[in-house]
Structure 1
Amino acid sequence: MGTRTQSLEHEENSMKRIGIIGSGSIGAAVARLAVAADWEVLIANSRGPASLSGLIEELGPLARAGEVQEAVEFGDIPVLAVPLAAYPKLPQATFTGRTVLSTGNYYPHRDGRIEQLDTLATTTAEYEQALLPEARIVKAFNSILFTHIPNLANSTPRTALPIAGDDDAAKAGVSELVNALGFDTVDAGTLAESWRFEPESGAYTQIYVADLDAFRADYLSDPGAPLPADQLRTLLEKSTRADVAAREF
C-alpha cells in the first residue's frame, strides 16, 4: 500500500512540474501560464541560469532556472521553444523516449534557408522530429501570438489550439498539458499535416485577432479574441499550405 501511495504521489507531483527550454517570448508566456496554474517551472536557455534571473524573479517562488538537461527531465513533457539552429546543440540522449511539446516555426531571417522546408519536402515539425529522432514531437503553441497567450488562456468561450503529432499517446499527453494551462485542443493530424497551422497558412496567428486592421497597425496592442474548437476545426480543414520558399520573416 505504501509503494502504491508513493507512486501516486510521484505521478501527482510530476503532473505539476514542467521544464521549458527557451526563454524567449513563447517560452516565457508558457511559463507564466504554468505558474498561474500552480505548476513548478524550471526554465533553461543557451546562455545559462544566470541570464534568467529577471524572468525567475518575475515568475516567483514556483519558478527556478537550470540547465537544459535539467529542464528536459524536470516534468513529464518538456516544452521546447528554441530556434531550429539550436536543435543540434541539445542533449540528444536526454530526449530519448520523451514526448516533447514543440512551439517552433521556420523563420528564414533567423534560421537561414533550409532547402527541405522551402521545397515542401517536409514540414517544420517533421524536420524537428528528424533532428530529435528518439523523441516524440508534438506541435502546439506555434500558431498563436505570444501576447495572445495570456489574454486567451481560460477565455470564455474557451479558446482552442491545434496540435499535431505522429504518436496518439503523445498527443493525448500534450492535449492534457495544454488543457491544464487554459486552452482546449483540436487534433490537426500528423506531423506531415502540421502545415495547416504553420506561418502564413489558414490557421495561423491571425485567427486569434480581435481587430485585423488594428492588428496590422500595431500587432502588440491587439487583445485577441476567443476561438472555440469548432471554429478552429473548420479553419484547419480549409487551410491552404503556404509558399514557404517565399517566406522572409
Structure 2
Amino acid sequence: MADRPVIGIFGAGKVGTALARLLVDAGYEVALSGSPRQTALDLLVSVVAPGARVRTPEELVREADVVVVAVPFGKAASVPWDAFDGKVVVDATNYWPPVDGHIAEIDADERTTSEVHAALNPDARVVKSLNHLGYHDMEDDPMPAGSPLRRALAVVGDDAEARATVARIIDDLGFDPVDGGALANGRALEPGHPAFGRELSAAELERLLAAERAVAA
C-alpha cells in the first residue's frame, strides 16, 4: 500500500462528502460512490467535494486501498462486502433506532454492529472508526498534531495493521487516533454508549475505553 492510500467512500451523503473534503484537503486521492438513484452525482460531488472522483461500486473497489462504508445503517448490506477481500474497510455506520427504527435481528444480536458487518466477509479487514462524531464536527474540530485541545477518535478492529493504517489517516485529518484494540470493543463507540458524540482528548478516550473493557470482562 502506498504511503497515501487511495480512499474509496461508499455513501455520498453528509458524512461521506464531509469526509471526502477533509481527505482531499489532506492530500489523499478519494473516490465516491453514491446511490444509483442519486441523480447528477458528478455535479453534486464537484460542488460539495471538489477533487473527489465519482466511481461505480466496481471501480471504487478496484481502485481503493481503504474503503469507508458511510451509508445509512439500513443500507449497509447493499454495499458489496463480498468484493472486499483483503481490503481495509472502515465501518462508519451507526445503528440508531430513532433514525433506523428497531431492527429485530440487530436488537437480538449480542455482537457489535461492526462485528455483524465483518461477518458479511471474514476476509475483509474491518475497522470501526469515524462513526462517533458528527459530520459537522469532522470539519469544525480538526487541529494540528500536538494541539492540547485536539479531539481523539478511536480505532478498533481485529487486524492490528489495519488499525494502524486507519490511525495514520485519522492523524492526517487532524484528530488524535486512539487504538482501542479488538473489534468487539467498538460497543463504546455506538449510539447510547460512552464515547459517542463526546469531545474527548486521547487520554480521556483511552480511559473510557479501558473502563468499558473492564465492565464487559
Tell me whether the two structures share a fold, i.e. TM-score over 0.5. Answer: yes
Change in CA separation of 1:58 and 1:114 when aligned onto 2, cut-off 3 Å = closer
Q: Percent same amino acid at aligned positions?
A: 35
Residues 96-141 of structure 1 deviation map (CA, whole Å, 9 limit, x = unaligned): 1111011011123554433453235111111111123331110111
What is residue 133 of structure 2 aligned with on the other side? Answer: 144
What is residue 56 of structure 1 aligned with on the other side? Answer: 46
CA contact (8 A) 1:87 1:131 kept: no
Q: Highest CA radius of gyration, 1 or 2?
A: 1
2:164 is the alignment partner of 1:191 = no
TM-score, normalised via structure 2 length: 0.86
Report deviation, 1:150.
0.9
2:200 is the alignment partner of 1:230 = no
What is residue 218 of structure 1 aligned with on the other side? Answer: none
Query: In structure 1, how many angstroms separate the alpha carbons of the residues matched to 2:52 and 2:204?
Result: 35
Letter in 1 for 2:164: A
Report deviation, 1:49.
7.2
CA contact (8 A) 1:188 1:196 kept: no
Letter in 2 for 1:130: A
TM-score, normalised via structure 1 length: 0.75
For structure 1, the residue ranges without an aligned partner over 5 or more in a row are: 1-9, 209-226, 241-249
Residues 110-189 of structure 1: matches in 2 within 5 Å?
Answer: 110-154=99-143, 156-157=147-148, 158-189=150-181
Query: Secondary structure in 2 aligned to 1:138?
Result: strand
2:193 is the alignment partner of 1:201 = yes
Change in CA separation of 1:69 and 1:204 when aligned onto 2, cut-off 3 Å = same
For structure 2, the residue ranges without an aligned partner over 5 or more in a row are: none
CA contact (8 A) 1:161 1:184 kept: yes
Letter in 1 for 2:187: W
Query: In structure 2, how many angstroms separate the alpha carbons of the residues matched to 1:73 and 1:196?
Result: 32
Change in CA separation of 1:160 and 1:16 when aligned onto 2, cut-off 3 Å = same
Residues 57-96 of structure 1: matches in 2 within 5 Å?
Answer: 57-60=47-50, 62-96=51-85
**Mean Cα deviation higher: 179-188 or 115-124:** 115-124
